[in-house]
Structure 1
Amino acid sequence: MKLHENGVYLLNGTEIIEDNQEAAACLAAKTGKTVTAAEAATGTMAYRILKAHNTSGNMEQLQIKFDKLTSHDITFVGIIQTARASGLEKFPVPYVLTNCHNSLCAVGGTINEDDHMFGLSCAKRYGGIYVPPHQAVIHQFAREMLAGGGKMILGSDSHTRYGALGTMAMGEGGPELVKQLLCKTYDIKMPGVVAIYLTGEPMKGVGPQDVALAIIGAVFKNGYVNNKVMEFVGPGVASLSADFRIGVDVMTTETTCLSSIWVTDDKIREFYDIHGRSADYAELKPEKVAYYDGCVEVNLSEIKPMIAMPFHPSNTYTIEEVNANLEDVLAEVEKNALVSLDGAVEYKLRDKIRNGKLYVDQGIIAGCAGGGFENICAAADILNGKSIGPDEFTLSVYPASMPVYMELVKNGAAAKIMETGAIMKTAFCGPCFGAGDTPNNNGFSIRHTTRNFPNREGSKLQNGQIASVALMDARSIAATAANKGYLTPATDLDVEYTGPKYFFDKSIYENRVFDSKGVADPDQELKFGPNIKDWPAMSALTDNLVLKVVSEIHDPVTTTDELIPSGETSSYRSNPLALAEFALSRKDPEYVGRAKEVQKAEKARVNGEKPTEALPELAPVIETIKTKYPDLNRENFGIGSTIFAVKPGDGSAREQAASCQKVLGGWANIANEYATKRYRSNLINWGMLPFLIPEGDLPFANGDYLFVPNVRKAIEDKLTDIEAYVVKDGGLKSFTLKMGDLTDDERTIILKGCLINYYRD
């Protein structure tokens, strides 16, 4: 693995030329003409696709319209409710509503199934496509039925990645899909493009998750591809099957890149042929000369079976390294857990060492990353004739769609897996976010899924419970299962991989999926369950703001799982007020109560009452502010809460990480940096100020009051430095808040108070 320090030119798709003083002469000698970086940057596949979808006429400031949209049952209710409140009449582009997250209805009575029936009625009323529970996970259905060469798809799930099929796809928070539903655009600056240059071919037993984890481990911590497009090129691509490429591609989300795109060839053409969509194939490759802002060279031949230890996909080792240094590696994970878990529970891994080997409690092969046909067939070959044993170790396999499952039944792979004692289950994303196969307390699970954040497997710190997940490829999970739970890389086993051909049968979809063919039925009544609630009213930004800091998080990175938990909250995502009760519950259990106390004062102000009577501690704060700003009155200032986090927003696209704060009266986040564009966009779309403050000593602490004068005018005037004060001990201490780039629409959304207000007005 090599990361170039400079940009590179790619010549004829096969030769890398470093961007240095000799580059121009070298290019001129090879091409017979002078080529500048700016000209060559238009030769990437990403540039051409973005240009074809840009409506602004300016390739520096993009306004993108997507070809198709997709959401699952954790997100589509809130999206459609927001769009309805903003004037939605018809889905303007194909919009697929899948039901692969809240598939189980054991939690919350019939709450989840109510959401499903709401989705079906919306597909009928507005002209969409509805995929019932257990039929397909969101991204597999998109691969099978939506992707197309040169197209763009926007999804409300962070792993919306179909680049291997020639489709540039992006995962964003729900409000960005609302904009598309209302015929608006996705507005971003032209992103940088980084070449992922592949050579060689994977050794026997190495799978797509191994390649993905190797790349994630190399680029996540240094931010090498952050908010950029990863463009997969080089001769090594041809050595990978379509399924293999898909398995690598879906994990690019964990690098924090914006999107991905791959060269396409006959293997991708065959994928479309197999799925009966030959016309959707398009040959994609860079121009003869293309310029990239960076380059990661990956020698596929040198990648070994990998493992991402808790609690992040970038915490990578080779399985060989872990087995050779068990005590040291596990001790390091335990040490890091003290930070990740804030010491809330005792976390142990070294007690998993048995006779010098690491014993694993559970294996899972599932979802958009692990549940592909080739992964499961390879696992079946490894497990053929074996037993997983009668001890603690269990193995569950979730094919990514019913068509995949049906073919596994037909070719015998499912039977090979089941006769070992493993369990075959239906298409479901639950193991990725804590709604399926939750391990026992202190259990250790190896999973070919997408993430291994703290508690994402379903354990609850607030109840004193902890389990953890390591990410691995399906092949090494199967090898571990064949070894009855002892960690084993697939390369240790001599296996003959049969590589059966895939035959896609779409009759299941024809029999069960509702497809309106784009025809809306305005007479269709929407079906509302009692848990489906409208968004509460949200105020416009006031002239001045009084903010109380109600949480302070100093972890290097704060995930969206920590801002709003996955798993147990899923059933409440259709109910903004009920969901907000879970905000920061894993990271700061006191947050909700503190935010609600501050919110009492704002509600009183909006109702024409005295905010200081609702929140008496506010009285001396207001008096202190008035010593410098005597004109402050109930009409010209708002009262709200804010949180500080070093780098919030890594992980999921879920908008609720921001909307829950807003529902509880939040007006802003303050951060040294935002982990992803999508989290910052979610804050903006919910009318929250995405403040920045330089690293170093904070001028305030949890519980302090801040005053931001003339904040509305600062946004209107496009200021990047905004004066603020810490109000403490009867005095005002000045400091500066930074504001990053905002589009004109984003400024207006913040001024209006949220996206709903923006469109309603």
Structure 2
Amino acid sequence: MIKLYEKGAYVLHGTEVIDELEATKEMLQAKTGKECSKSELSENTLAYSILKAHNTSGNMEKLKVKFDKLTSHDITFVGIIQTARASGLEKFPVPYVLTNCHNSLCAVGGTINEDDHMFGLSCAKKYGGIYVPPHQAVIHQFAREVLAEGGKMILGSDSHTRYGALGTMAIGEGGPELVKQLLNKTYDINMPGVIGVHLTGEPRKGVGPQDIALAIIGAVFEKGYVNNKVMEFFGEGVYKLSVDYRIGIDVMTTETTCLSSIWVTDNKVKEFYEIHKRPEAYKELTLEEAVYYDGMIEVDLGDIKPMIAMPFHPSNVYTIDELNENLYDVLSEVEKKAAVSLDNKIKYSLQDKVRNNRLYVDQGVIAGCAGGGFENICDAADILKGKYIGADDFSLSVYPASQPIFMELVKNGLVADLMETGATIRTAFCGPCFGAGDVPSNNGFSIRHTTRNFPNREGSKITSGQIASVALMDARSIAATAASQGYLTSSENIDTEFLKPKYFYDSKIYDNRVYNGIGKPIPETEIKFGPGIVDWPAMSGLTDNMLLKVVSVIMDPVTTTDELIPSGETSSYRSNPLGLAEFTLSRKDPAYVGSAKEIQLGEKARTKGEDIFAAVGELKEVYETIQKVFPVEPSETEIGSVIYAVKPGDGSAREQAASCQKVLGGLANIAKEYATKRYRSNLINWGMLPFLLKEEVPFEKGDYLFIKDIKKAISEKHSEIKAYIVGKGMKEITLMLGELTDDEREIIDKGCLINYYRNEK
């Protein structure tokens, strides 16, 4: 079904793939008519050419990238603009779109989320940006319709910023990376590896883009095959897919932990831009005669069957047939995996969802940047035509990804068809993906064409004894399940004629409602602040030495950003750093906030020149032990907290996973590895040290770590740092930092990105 190459691969004439292990110089020369070196041919990728066009460093090994456009939503843009304002923002230097698709549902009895929206509108006016009101479009659909351009680059503060199917290389990062672009700085990375994704064949009838995406995620995630690399899609299979279908695969590449994606383009993509009244945005992207990729994923589209990603990760994949045919065995396996994710803190069962030897589902949702596309909803409507979803537990909700899509579905009659089945139709909203919409009941089992199904996400509050679980599926199999009134059904088992109605895009909705101030800043505009919008607290710079208390140790194989800072009910606090910080690790380690605050009292006393031992009594004994070895002055040693996690940062790009730790006094993370580049970048941009520890964890929760001469080690570019576990003695351990740019070192030294830019003035 899917083959991963052990090493790299050569691609000739856009179709012929040669395994690097089998290739010889003579073979390549015979096929191409010239000598070919691996290094030269690696520069023939689409990714390389786009990155080269956007690199300002003059060195393709050390990139300094300037993006063409930026995009954010209402959970992230307040913090980004507040940080940029504190750092000297005068106007948006490139087109910047502020969408409102996460906090669309304003707080009951209050206006806190709408205050964020009005903040965004006033900033779009003042600095010259685009403001998309709530319920108009989810962030990525608006970007596809209005922003994407062939050969261009877009940076977004949402992890699913992926527009590769349209020929746009897009990257999702934490907010501080957008701040850098707003201040005319660069995105600094080493040249990423590029992995070819060779699509052949044609999808089976009823198989949708989510099925292809889940199969790929299942094949590559655990191996880290594409981690922080660019996935480049090519092959005859690409041309068999509609653009909507390609988009549906592309957006899910985020769940592989790749850095970005890019696809070859063709007349179908050209037509997409023409339909959206932007023909000039199209650029033909085709492969050179000979290309080298650092790895290769072979996907025969015809081999892939309808898939399901069971709780609690998009990589936990099975075919729906496999699940149905081995029901109790698979459910037992899923329950065992879930017990690890849930720390065995709560009883979790899926086998009690079996009725009449079939798996019964409580809820279906088709929504957001992955599921809410026109073609997905049309195909789902065809499957459900003339059927009804029943009056039992099962419900079905459909969220078109934008108002133009919604309007076309109204015009062609499919909204009426869906409503007749018992489904409900909602406006564009990202809530079902992060736990703010269609939250399942306790012990509920939901199937969703959305992007993620992590634990502690859609309705689960483990510390309160509440659990809900989500499985990811394609819209077509969700519709087939709805047609079976809640019994899990593969779309291949429903005989359907897919009518494939033509899409007509009407831009009048945006023309009449979206504020477009690109190139037209109004500096005298007064920014609107609500009481929930709070400035960042002051943050100290690095001192010569550092004392860290270990306040949380997480031994899960992977820790998601949702576990570091929960989504869902925290949304209304996203613009209040201290208010949001109260939720840090609340579903994973409820004692974290209290423990971090206790040690933070020592740092607050130190910076005020007060007695740190009076603030935190246990520090006296700790310093007595340290001073037996090193002549350290407590008043000149920064005090803070640190967490250990095996592999933190999978999932969302939101910076709050790091910033919430920082405002509580967090100074570092220690990890075996970081799940994504963006989480590590978030730590650095908030002045936190991204330590690595390859050995078994030698400390426990509650231990203190003393790090001598950390400021010197950062400035002198040491890769290894000596640290000491403070107990009855001083046990030496070695921490590593990994590669840091000069700017990243200075950001850490200054204490955070805000201080770094403030220092530049």
One-letter amino acid matched to 2:740: L
Contact 1:108 1:571 (8 Å CA) reproduced:
no
Question: Counterpart in 1 of 2:130?
Answer: 129
Q: Cα–Cα, structure 1 residues 350 and 634, in superposed 2: closer, same or farther, change >3 Å?
A: same
Question: Counterpart in 2 of 1:751?
Answer: 749
Q: Cα–Cα, structure 1 residues 547 and 303, in superposed 2: closer, same or farther, change >3 Å?
A: same
Question: Counterpart in 1 of 2:40?
Answer: 39
Pick which of 422-431 and 14-23 moved more. 14-23
Which structure 2 residues correspond to residues 112-511 of structure 1 after superposition, within 5 A? 112-511=113-512
> In 1, distance between residues paired with 2:584 and 2:518?
39
SS at match of 1:226: coil
Question: Counterpart in 2 of 1:602?
Answer: 603
Shift of 1:636: 2.5
Shift of 1:23: 2.6
Question: Counterpart in 2 of 1:714?
Answer: 713
Shift of 1:108: 6.8
Contact 2:80 2:179 (8 Å CA) reproduced:
yes
Contact 1:173 1:654 (8 Å CA) reproduced:
yes
Question: Counterpart in 2 of 1:67?
Answer: 68
> In 2, distance between residues paired with 1:635 and 1:54?
44
Contact 1:73 1:102 (8 Å CA) reproduced:
yes
Question: Counterpart in 2 of 1:556?
Answer: 557
Shift of 1:336: 1.4
Pick which of 325-334 and 253-262 moved more. 325-334
Contact 1:17 1:23 (8 Å CA) reproduced:
no
Question: Counterpart in 2 of 1:660?
Answer: 660
One-letter amino acid matched to 2:40: E
Gaps of 5+ in 1: none
Q: Cα–Cα, structure 1 residues 108 and 449, in superposed 2: closer, same or farther, change >3 Å?
A: farther
Pick which of 83-92 and 331-340 moved more. 331-340
One-letter amino acid matched to 1:363: G
Pick which of 25-34 and 206-215 moved more. 25-34
Pick which of 507-516 and 331-340 moved more. 331-340
> In 2, distance between residues paired with 1:507 and 1:331?
52
SS at match of 2:734: strand
Contact 2:623 2:634 (8 Å CA) reproduced:
no
One-letter amino acid matched to 1:690: P
Contact 1:148 1:282 (8 Å CA) reproduced:
yes
Shift of 1:574: 0.1
Summarize deviations over 1:284-308 as a string: whole Å, max 9, x none.
Answer: 0121111100000000001000000
Which structure 2 residues correspond to residues 518-667 of structure 1 after superposition, within 5 A? 518-630=519-631, 632-667=632-667
Contact 1:396 1:422 (8 Å CA) reproduced:
yes
Question: Counterpart in 1 of 2:685?
Answer: 685
Summarize deviations over 1:498-532 as a string: whole Å, max 9, x none.
Answer: 00000000000011000013211110000000000
> In 2, distance between residues paired with 1:107 and 1:491?
42
State the TM-score, normalized to the length of structure 2: 0.99
Summarize deviations over 1:178-198 as a string: whole Å, max 9, x none.
Answer: 000000000000000000000
One-letter amino acid matched to 1:707: F
One-letter amino acid matched to 1:348: S
Question: Counterpart in 1 of 2:731?
Answer: 733
> In 1, distance between residues paired with 2:108 and 2:674?
33
Summarize deviations over 1:248-291 as a string: whole Å, max 9, x none.
Answer: 00000000000000000000000000000000000001211111
The number of aligned residues is 758
Contact 2:408 2:503 (8 Å CA) reproduced:
yes
Gaps of 5+ in 2: none
Q: Cα–Cα, structure 1 residues 354 and 546, in superposed 2: closer, same or farther, change >3 Å?
A: same
Pick which of 339-348 and 255-264 moved more. 339-348
Shift of 1:138: 0.1
Pick which of 410-419 and 209-218 moved more. 410-419
> In 1, distance between residues paired with 2:436 and 2:7?
43
SS at match of 1:465: coil
Shift of 1:628: 1.1
Shift of 1:458: 2.2
> In 2, distance between residues paired with 1:197 and 1:52?
25
Shift of 1:21: 6.1
SS at match of 2:178: helix
> In 2, distance between residues paired with 1:699 and 1:256?
29
> In 1, distance between residues paired with 2:390 and 2:536?
50
> In 1, distance between residues paired with 2:104 and 2:140?
15
Summarize deviations over 1:462-503 as a string: whole Å, max 9, x none.
Answer: 221100000000000000000000000000011000000000
One-letter amino acid matched to 2:750: K
> In 1, distance between residues paired with 2:609 and 2:636?
12
> In 2, distance between residues paired with 1:457 and 1:591?
22
One-letter amino acid matched to 1:112: N
> In 2, distance between residues paired with 1:466 and 1:108?
27
Shift of 1:26: 1.0
Question: Counterpart in 2 of 1:703?
Answer: 702
Shift of 1:106: 3.1
Contact 1:132 1:513 (8 Å CA) reproduced:
yes
> In 2, distance between residues paired with 1:682 and 1:388?
44
Shift of 1:734: 0.6
Shift of 1:337: 1.6
One-letter amino acid matched to 1:618: L
Contact 2:226 2:257 (8 Å CA) reproduced:
yes
> In 2, distance between residues paired with 1:127 and 1:147?
19
One-letter amino acid matched to 2:667: W
State the TM-score, normalized to the length of structure 1: 0.99
Contact 1:433 1:458 (8 Å CA) reproduced:
no
> In 1, distance between residues paired with 2:518 and 2:665?
41
Contact 2:441 2:459 (8 Å CA) reproduced:
no
Question: Counterpart in 2 of 1:724?
Answer: 723
One-letter amino acid matched to 2:748: I
Contact 2:107 2:572 (8 Å CA) reproduced:
no
Question: Counterpart in 1 of 2:671?
Answer: 671
> In 1, distance between residues paired with 2:138 and 2:258?
22
SS at match of 1:723: strand
> In 2, distance between residues paired with 1:22 and 1:509?
52
> In 2, distance between residues paired with 1:393 and 1:79?
40
> In 2, distance between residues paired with 1:309 and 1:22?
39
- Once superposed, which parts of structure 1, at least 4 consecutive aligned residues long, lie more than 2 Å away? 20-23
Shift of 1:635: 4.0
SS at match of 1:70: strand
Summarize deviations over 1:8-33 as a string: whole Å, max 9, x none.
Answer: 01101100111136431111001111
Question: Counterpart in 2 of 1:12?
Answer: 13
One-letter amino acid matched to 2:637: F
Summarize deviations over 1:118-170 as a string: whole Å, max 9, x none.
Answer: 00000000000000000000000000000000000000000000000000000
Shift of 1:668: 0.3
One-letter amino acid matched to 2:730: L
Shift of 1:712: 0.5
| Identical amino acids, percent of aligned pairs | 73
CA RMSD of aligned residues (A): 0.7
Shift of 1:107: 4.6
One-letter amino acid matched to 1:408: L
Shift of 1:457: 0.9
One-letter amino acid matched to 1:60: E
Contact 1:458 1:568 (8 Å CA) reproduced:
no
